[in-house]
């Protein structure tokens, strides 16, 4: 008689610290908006949106993520940068609220709804998202990345301290690594065959391999990469989201590149199209 199979180990729930970081980030953005309640028309540097529009987009995105975490099917573009941009503009046009005080409160409310939807649920539970399928834990990392990126923009526009911390950047890594192959620019990466070790100063490093337009990401850095790129946390994050150019990143203290083909370092971010 064969023995019955051993019971499966229970899946790890979505990390409480990640959910807390999402809520803390939403609250930090809401605090910025409360400080400048009349700043709705203030432009975001380097963007076409105003403070009111960026805050409204954050509210809509947090609501969407909370609904996705709750298992609802909410199509939003087809995952390409162009379709996501179009979906953003369409949703903004249908949501006219631009009052920073109202938007800050709504932002926090939806971040809390997201945490409630995820609490105690398995981190590996599948979820459908604007960037394709991912598990619930990575969706939480996606939400944090999205809030931090636009939170940075709002802090710059309002000339206030930002909320991008070392810990929060590390919590954003699961999403950033998953998204990398999904946002590669095939035209720019065509013909490239190279291996990279990319990582955070004093933190983990990862492997990124290009092979004729295809990209593979590994949680282990290759032993002999063509190029190694190491950044301090803020620069790494802003570079990944297109908020800082390669030249700006390499000019800052704490960013280093070396290897057999170090000249590939400034080109590396150009192989991706941040949504």
**What average pLDDT does range 178-206 have in this prediction?**
92
DSSP 210-260: EETTEEEEESS--SS-SEEEEE-HHHHHHHHTTSS-HHHHHHSTT-EEESS
Q: What tens digit of pLDDT does each residue of 180-190 get?
A: 998 898 889 99
**What average pLDDT does range 121-143 have in this prediction?**
94
- Residue 61's pLDDT band, with cuts at 50, 70 and 90, is very high
**What average pLDDT does range 6-24 have in this prediction?**
83
pLDDT exceeds cutoff 90 at 175 = yes
Q: How far apart are CA 243 and CA 98, in angstroms?
A: 24
Instruction: Report the mean per-residue pLDDT for the chain.
Output: 91
Q: Count CA atoms within 13 Å of residue 13 on its CB side.
A: 11
Per-residue pLDDT at 22: 98
Per-residue pLDDT at 254: 74
- Residue 1's pLDDT band, with cuts at 50, 70 and 90, is very low
- φ and ψ of 100, to 5 deg: -55, -35
């Amino acid at each position: 008689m064969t023995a019955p199979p051993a019971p499966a180990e229970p899946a790890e729930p979505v990390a409480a610290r990640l959910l807390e970081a999402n809520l803390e980030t939403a609250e930090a953005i809401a605090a910025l908006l409360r400080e400048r309640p009349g700043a709705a028309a203030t432009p975001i540097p380097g963007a076409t949106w105003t403070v009111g529009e960026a805050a409204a987009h954050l509210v809509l995105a947090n609501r969407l993520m909370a609904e996705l975490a709750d298992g609802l099917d909410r199509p939003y573009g087809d995952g390409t940068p162009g379709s996501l941009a179009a979906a953003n503009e369409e949703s903004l046009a249908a949501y006219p609220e631009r009052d920073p005080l109202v938007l800050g409160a709504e932002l926090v409310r939806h971040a809390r709804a997201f945490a409630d939807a995820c609490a105690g649920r398995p981190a590996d539970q599948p979820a459908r998202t604007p960037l394709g399928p991912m598990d619930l834990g990575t969706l939480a990392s996606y939400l944090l990345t999205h809030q931090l990126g636009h939170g940075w923009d709002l802090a710059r526009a309002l000339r206030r301290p930002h909320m991008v911390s070392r810990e929060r950047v590390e919590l954003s890594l699961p999403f950033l690594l998953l998204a990398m192959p999904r946002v590669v620019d095939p035209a720019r990466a065509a013909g490239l065959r190279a291996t990279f070790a990319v990582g955070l100063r004093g933190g983990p490093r990862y492997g990124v391999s290009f092979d004729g337009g295809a990209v593979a990401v590994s949680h282990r850095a290759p032993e002999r990469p063509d190029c190694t790129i190491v950044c301090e946390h803020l620069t790494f994050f802003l570079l990944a989201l297109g908020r800082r150019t390669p030249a700006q990143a390499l000019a800052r203290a704490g960013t280093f590149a070396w290897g057999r083909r170090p000249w590939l370092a400034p080109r590396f971010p150009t192989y991706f199209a941040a949504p």
